[in-house]
Chain A
Amino acid sequence: MKIFFHFSVIGFSNTYLIGNDHGDAILIDPGHMDIQLLDLIESNHYYIRHILITHRHESHTKGIGTLLKIYDADIYAYSAFGFSDFSVHPIPLNQPLLLSGIPVECRLVPGHSNDSIVFIIDKAMFTGDVLLSGRIGKTDSKLSHSLLLRSIKEQLLPLDDRMLIFPGHGAPSTLKIEKMFNEDIIEDMKHIRT
């Protein structure tokens, strides 16, 4: 399995390309389809079979339309709601997907948005806007902030510390780093202790 990244200058988001040894690939969060992304896919001789969406915000989905004109790919998101232009497979949360021969575990982690999904592939975690390097995702209320922290604590923190984190924006990280240095998580843990 190979992991490539692409930075979208529209929406400032990260798109991830995960390829198997046979030329099939998964694309996570195509925020924008541009010539650099096409070049990344084609120069590595991949065909996009599956598109995974961490959540339905424009900076993570806007490239889908153009991609589907080039590749006959299946789209997977938490729910088909809001994707009126495309056919979307709702993600089954309790059973792993097998996409391009790659097992993908999907965890619902609401807070940043109600449909936020974290994809786990081997020891790599694609967190969208749920958990980023040194911070958690932005929320629009204190209630959503609390919900996001609780979801992270229940769904992500029990995972292996060595898990690599590939967020929707910014630099990659690891779960151990976030447990040690993510101020939002540290603050929350302090509240629990007191």
Chain B
Amino acid sequence: MFDFIFCKEPDCHEFVVTGQKTCLFHAPDRDELSQQMLDRLLNKGPIGSLSFSGMEYNGVDLTRSRLYACNLANSIFVDTDFSNSYLQLCFFEYSTFIRCKFSHIVSKYSVFSGSKFIDCDFSESDLLHSNFVGVDARHCSFDDSDLYYSDFVNAVLDDVTFRDCNLKKTDFYSSTRTQVIFKFSNFEEAIFSREY
């Protein structure tokens, strides 16, 4: 797990970048640190327990990445390709993803809550026990994916497709769905209401 150490700057609520005393925003050598972290990511080997939230990624090829227990929250990803990656216990909450590819990924116990997804592709992926609570997703595809035990509570889904998906125990309670397609999916095994 990444270190639960907070940025030393007063009133800053971010976790420190791994090996540093501050978060990325308060790092004195922010550009150099960003490049260092990006180089580690692009290395393609398994990466574990790394924390570097608040990064900006543009056109980065992160295909076949293997990330374990990492913190990449509050980041901006544009035209970034995560295809064929393995994400386990990774935290991406409150991030923005624009035109990103997540096809053929395996995501287990990862957190994307509060993030914004625009034109993103999650097709043919295993998104198991993944947290999409409160996401705002527009023009996205989850087609042919396994979403077992994933949560979309309070999500805003606009023009999002879930064709031929496994939706067993997938929770859509209180989500706002416009032009959402569940064709060929077992949506009757998904959760849309609460019983007490």
Minimum CB–CB distance from A171 to chain B (whole Å) comes to 4
Q: Bin chain A's interface residue count.
A: 20 to 34
Our count of residue pairs bridging A and B at CB distance below 8 angstroms stands at 96
**How far, in angstroms, from A169 to B49 measured CA to CA in the complex?**
23
Interface of B is mostly: loop
Q: Which of A2, A138, A139 meets B1, CB within 8 Å? A: A2
Q: Which of B114, B153, B195 meets A182, CB within 8 Å? A: B153
Minimum CB–CB distance from A138 to chain B (whole Å) comes to 7
Q: Bin chain B's interface residue count.
A: 20 to 34
Task: Give every chain A residue within 8 A of B91 (Cβ-Cβ).
Answer: 164, 174
Q: Which of A145, A164, A170 meets B129, CB within 8 Å? A: A170
Interface string of A16-52 (1 = CB under 8 A from B): 0000000000000000000000000000000000000
**How far, in angstroms, from A138 to B169 measured CA to CA in the complex?**
15
A63 touches B (CB below 8 Å) = no
Task: Give every chain B residue within 8 A of A159 (Cβ-Cβ).
Answer: none
**B34-59 at interface with A (beta carbon < 8 Å):** 49
**Partner-contacting stretch, out of B77-85, B130-138, B157-165:** B130-138
Q: Which of B113, B134, B196 meets A145, CB within 8 Å? A: B196
Task: Given A133-B153, A134-B173, A142-B196, answer yes or no on A171-B1 (Cβ-Cβ < 8 Å).
Answer: no
Task: Give every chain A residue within 8 A of B171 (Cβ-Cβ).
Answer: 133-135, 170
Q: Give the 9 A-B CB pairs with smallest separation, nearest first.
A: A134-B153, A181-B134, A123-B4, A171-B131, A181-B154, A177-B113, A134-B133, A134-B151, A183-B174
User: Can you list 8 A-B contacts (CB < 8 A)?
Assistant: A2-B49, A2-B69, A133-B113, A134-B151, A162-B6, A171-B131, A177-B93, A177-B113
Q: Which residues of A contact B (CB under 8 A)?
A: 1-3, 5, 7, 12, 14, 122-124, 133-135, 138-139, 142, 145, 161-162, 164, 169-174, 177, 180-184
